[in-house]
Amino acid sequence: MFDVSINLHKVLEQLPDGVKLIAVSKFHPKEFIEVAYNEGQRIFGESHEQELSAKVRELPQDIEWHFIGHLQTNKVKYIAPYISMIEAVDTLKLLKEINKQALKNNRIINVLLELHIAEEESKYGFTFDDCRKLLEGDEWKQLKNVHISGLMMMASNTTDKVQVKNEMLLAADFFDEIKEKYFKDDPDFKERSWGMSNDYPIALEARSTMIRVGTAIFGPRIY
Ligand SMILES: *Cc1c(COP(=O)(O)O)cnc(C)c1O
C-alpha cells in the first residue's frame, strides 16, 4: 500500500525554507487528500474543473487550490469564486477572462505565466519571445483583478538530468529578466513553479519556489 502520509513527509523534509509544496491530487479520491490535509498539507493542485469543483464541495474550506492544467476560457467562471492560484496562463485571452471573472467575484486572482521550454509534448505555454511581447504590451497592466505572481514550466520528460536542469535554469534566468523589467516594484512577483515527482530534486537546485508533486505522494493515477 502507498502510504500518503509517509510519502508526503519524505517530500516535505527535502524542501528548503521558502519552497512550497503543491500536492497534485488530480485523479485521486478525496480520502487521499484528507490524509495529506490531516498531516498539515494545505495547498493542492488539480487540473480538471469538474473534478476540482466536486472536491471543493466535499473538502475543508481552508484548502488553497491551485489550478495547474490547461484551462479553457469557458471554465474560468466556475473556479473564479474560490481558486487560489491559476498556474498555467498561456494566452492574453485567458488572462483577460480571469480578470473579468475575478472582477465579478470582487477578487484578485493570482496567476503564473506558463513557459513552453520543453522540446516535446505540450502545445501550451508562452515562448520567451511571446512572453516578452505580452509584457511589452500595455493590456495586461489594465487587468486590475489578476496578479501575475511568477512563472510556471514543465521540463522535458527525459532521464537526461542535465537537460532538465538547463531548462529550469533558463526559466529562472528569464524570471530574473522580466522581474527586472516589469515587476521590480512588486515583491509579490516571486514564484517559480517547476519540479514534479521525477524532477523536483533538480528543481530545488534550479531556484524553484513551488514544486508540484503528485505521484510521489499519492501513487500512480488511475485514469
Ligand atoms: C500532473 C501534473 C503534475 C504532477 O505530476 P507527477 O509526476 O504526478 O508529480 C505537475 N504539474 C502539472 C502541470 C501536472 O499536470
The mean pLDDT value for 109-122 works out to 89
Pocket test for ligand 1, best of 43, 159, 212 (most atoms within 8 A of CB): 212
Residue nearest to atom 11 of ligand 1 (CA): 212
Distance CA 223, CA 220 (A): 9
For 93, residues 6+ apart whose C-beta sits below 8 A from its C-beta are 73
Domain ranges within the chain, ordered by starting residue: 4-218
Ligand 1 surroundings by CB, under 6 angstroms: 24, 26, 47, 68-69, 154, 196-197, 212-216
What's the pLDDT at 128?
96
Share of the chain above pLDDT 90, in %: 96
Q: Does residue 120 register a pLDDT over 80?
A: no
The mean pLDDT value for 102-112 works out to 98
What's the pLDDT at 222?
84
Residue nearest to atom 7 of ligand 1 (CA): 197
In the three-class reduction of DSSP (H, G, I as helix; E, B as strand; rest coil), residue 203 is classed as helix
Measure the CA dihedral 188/199/44/24, to 10°. Answer: 150
Per-residue b or e along 200-215, where b marks 16 or more CB atoms closer than 10 Å to that residue's CB = bebbbebbbbbbbbbe
Mean pLDDT for the chain overall: 96
pLDDT, tens digit (0-9, with 9 covering 90-100), for 40-87: 999 999 999 999 999 999 999 999 999 999 999 999 999 999 999 999
The domain covering 4-218 belongs, at the CATH homologous superfamily level, to Alanine racemase (3.20.20.10)
Query: What atom of ligand 1 comes closest to residue 196's alpha carbon?
Result: 9
What are the DSSP calls for 114-151, one per residue? EE--SSSS---SB-HHHHHHHHHSSGGGG-TTEEEEEE
The mean pLDDT value for 80-99 works out to 98
